Structure 1
Amino acid sequence: MTEEAADHLADVPVEAVREALVEWYEADHRAFPWRETEDPYEILVSEVMSQQTQLGRVVEAWAAFLDRWPTAAALADADRADVVAFWTDHSLGYNNRAKYLHEAARQVCEEFDGAFPRDPDGLSELMGVGPYTANAVASFAFDNGDAVVDTNVKRVLHRAFDVPDDDAAFERVASELMPDGESRVWNNAIMELGGVACEKTPACDAAGCPWREWCHAYETGDFTAPDVPTQPDFEGSRRQMRGRVVNVLGEYDELPIDELGPRVRVDYAPDGEYGREWLWDLLADLEADGLVETDDDGTARLRR
């Protein structure tokens, strides 16, 4: 155990803490379908979807996505515009997530002979897969990850063991707590604890938190925690408008910009705040992402 981690776990019976959490999780936890699979593709899809969407809404979208593209190979063969349109239709956040997921599927098929890398470093080579997502897939698909540290886990560690709001400190303590070679059950369990018992408004007794006897916050009554970033409103946002452009162009072979505009925003006016300049800016973003192409005469179409 590192010296820094030892400072926060000095009076904590680590083995008892581990056993209590795993027993609590295995006795009862939320039944999400991606917890019932070890398929790295299915888990990657769930992780990408969950980054910006409440888990309850992800369930339906995840099932529909896998029904349409059941394997990495199927997704790799799909038209990227169709994948992006699905993302928008299901309000799954930034469309770049769909683009990156599609590209990651191509990488798996073309660069890794159809087999997902099994460790966080290898998974991080996939497009759009950052350290957190790589570690989650390695943990849940291959039981081969490190301790996951997301906002829920930070809240748990801050309250339970008085860990300061410092990423390095959270990483150290999380790593020391996780039993060797048990990343799948441990990471699921500690994230479940943060999701149902140690939310912003804690439900320690109601959820039967297994760490109450060791928890600093439970003892002191001080349930402050690191700030949790809020998700910007989707309605009227730039990402919503980007999605509308893709959807509209999906219905037509091509459209002049002044015919596209009113179909994206009802208040579109060529020389107004939401006019040609605004729409050309959106189209430039989508063109840079490889989703749209435009002509000099002001015609836009999806890139096929």
Structure 2
Amino acid sequence: MSESPELLPDDADAVRTALVEWYEASHRSFPWRETTDPYEILVSEVMSQQTQLSRVETAWAEFLERWPTAADLAAADRSEVVAFWTDHSLGYNNRARYLHEAAGQVVDDHGGEFPETPEGLQDLQGVGPYTANAVASFAFNNGDAVVDTNVKRVLYRAFDVPDDDAAFEDAAAELMPEGRSRVWNNAIMELGGVACEKTPSCDEAGCPWRQWCHAYETGDFTAPDVPTQPSFEGSRRQFRGRVVKLLGEYDELGLDEIGPRIRVDYAPEGEYGREWLRGLLDDLEDDELVEVEERENGVVARLQR
């Protein structure tokens, strides 16, 4: 780790105490914050990727009612899990596949017990560094300092940390009190989510870091550059989701049965025709979400089971 204490206030302990007390006094209530079950937390983390938390709450509760444990999910038909994901508009369907496979790994490779470290959790299918650290933090209080878009914005504004990934990681690690990753990571993400948003609400949210904050002192509330998300409307991702949802309602369908049902301007020989649709199906087949079969009378597709 490179040296970063010079970026932080001299009274770092007071900074830490102020944030934790602010969080514990009043924070948004989400059901996954009330559990330390790693399976329930993993489901919430995967669902929360690029999905509004208000939608996640309903989907999370329904998902856990249907598959309450990792063993239940591992035993489920994958096509049912993917169909649930699509029906609840939870983003990329391969996340559902990865979650299903990760549950199988927990059961088959770990005796039904989740790994407790970020490194161990990354061995699970589809679990990257951020998600692994979140589960280690919130389930086992055994994580590193989280560094997401919200945290970068907070550190950049409050302590004038340079817009550099290594600098953010160093500052975040220096700030986090040892052995308190659960409360700390929740608290600093909450700060970025309710007080230090793109348009800040410093006084309204009672930001506990105002007395140390560089942005609050100078009035300069610029933030690190954030990559713009491509539009979902009209995207290949949108049409892939429509295909999966449609195939969940039928045993199998041919190209010219699928096409008109997923876009009104489908024309077999047109720009958005069989060739375009076959490309979508090939992508979904590569992701092991659908099966495509060549027959004498044409191509048919079905959900992979």
TM-score range, shorter chain: over 0.9
CA contact (8 A) 2:93 2:241 kept: yes
Whether the aligned pair in 1 keeps the contact of 2:2 and 2:170 (CA below 8 Å) is no
Q: Secondary structure at the match of 2:301?
A: strand
Aligned counterpart for 2:97 among listed residues 89, 99, 115: 99
> In 1, Cα distance between the equivalents of 2:79 and 2:197?
37
Relative to the length of structure 1, the TM-score reads 0.97
> 1:287 is matched with which residue: 264, 285, 288?
285
**C-alpha separation in 2, matches of 1:268 and 1:80:** 29
- CA offset digits 1:117-154 (Å, max 9, x no partner): 00000000011111010000000000000000000000
Q: Distance in 1 between matches of 2:95 and 2:303?
A: 18
Q: Partners in 2 of 1:302 and 1:269 — Cα distance? A: 23
The corresponding residue for 1:88 is 86
Partner of 1:148: 146
| Equivalent position to 1:202, from 200, 203, 214 | 200
Name the residue aligned to 1:31.
29
1:73 to 61, 71, 74: 71
Query: What is the alpha-carbon distance in structure 1 between the residues aligned to residue 3 and residue 253 of structure 2?
Result: 60
Match of 1:46? 44
The C-alpha deviation readout for 1:3-62, integer Å capped at 9, x for no partner, is 6312202x4311000000000000000001000000000000111111111112211111
Residue of structure 2 equivalent to 1:20: 18
CA contact (8 A) 1:85 1:243 kept: no
Does the residue aligned with 1:295 lie in a helix, a strand or coil? strand
Q: CA deviation at 1:99?
A: 1.1
Residue 299 of structure 1 aligns with which residue?
A: 300
The reply on whether 1:248 has 2:246 as its aligned counterpart is yes
Unaligned runs of 5+ in 2: none
Offset at 1:230? Answer: 3.2
Q: How many residues are treated as equivalent by the alignment?
A: 302
1:125 maps to 123
- Please name the residue that 2:112 is paired with: 114
Runs of 4+ in 1 over 4 A off after TM superposition: none
SS of the residue corresponding to residue 222 of structure 2 reads coil
Which structure 1 residue ranges, 5 or more long, are not aligned?
Answer: none
Could you tell me which residue of structure 2 aligns to residue 8 of structure 1? 7
User: Does structure 2 conserve the Cα–Cα contact (< 8 Å) formed by 1:52 and 1:231?
Assistant: no
Q: Which moved more, 1:274-283 or 1:78-87?
A: 78-87
Contact kept, 8 Å, 1:88 with 1:240, in 2: the verdict is no
CA distance in 1, matches of 2:113, 2:102: 12
Contact 1:95 1:239 in 2 (8 A): no
2:62 is the alignment partner of 1:64: yes
**1:278: which partner in 2?**
276
CA distance in 1, matches of 2:90, 2:232: 10
Structure 1 Cα separation of the partners of residues 228 and 53 of structure 2:
16
Report if aligned partners of 1:242, 1:282 keep a CA contact under 8 Å in 2: yes
| 2:281 partner letter | L
Describe the shift of the 1:3–1:68 C-alpha distance in structure 2 as closer, same or farther (beyond 3 A): closer
Cα distance in 1 between the residues matched to 2:71 and 2:264 = 39
Of 255, 258, 261 in structure 1, the residue corresponding to residue 256 of structure 2 is 258
Structure 1 residue 186 displacement after superposition? 0.3
**Alpha-carbon distance in 2 for matches of 1:236, 1:3:** 44
Letter in 1 for 2:303: L
Corresponding position of 2:155: 157
Instruction: State the secondary structure of the residue aligned to 2:4.
Output: helix
Structure 1 range deviating more: 252-261 or 138-147: 252-261
- Secondary structure at the aligned position of 2:192 is classed as helix
In the aligned structure 2, how far is the partner of 1:267 from the partner of 1:65?
A: 34
Work out the CA distance in 2 between the residues paired with 1:55 and 1:293: 32
Quickly say closer, same or farther: Cα 1:3–1:296, change in 2 above 3 A: closer
Report the Cα distance in structure 2 between the residues aligned to 1:220 and 1:154, rounded to whole angstroms: 18
Once the two structures are TM-superposed, the CA of residue 265 in structure 1 deviates from its matched residue by 1.6
Counterparts in 2 of 1:3 and 1:253: CA distance versus 1, 3 Å: closer
Post-superposition Cα deviations, 1:207-254, rounded to whole Å, max 9, x if no partner, equal: 000000001111111111102233333222212211211122222221
What is the identity, as a one-letter code, of the residue corresponding to 1:303?
A: Q
Backbone CA RMSD of aligned residues: 1.2
User: What secondary structure is seen at the aligned counterpart in 2 of 1:296?
Assistant: strand
Is 2:210 the counterpart of 1:212? yes
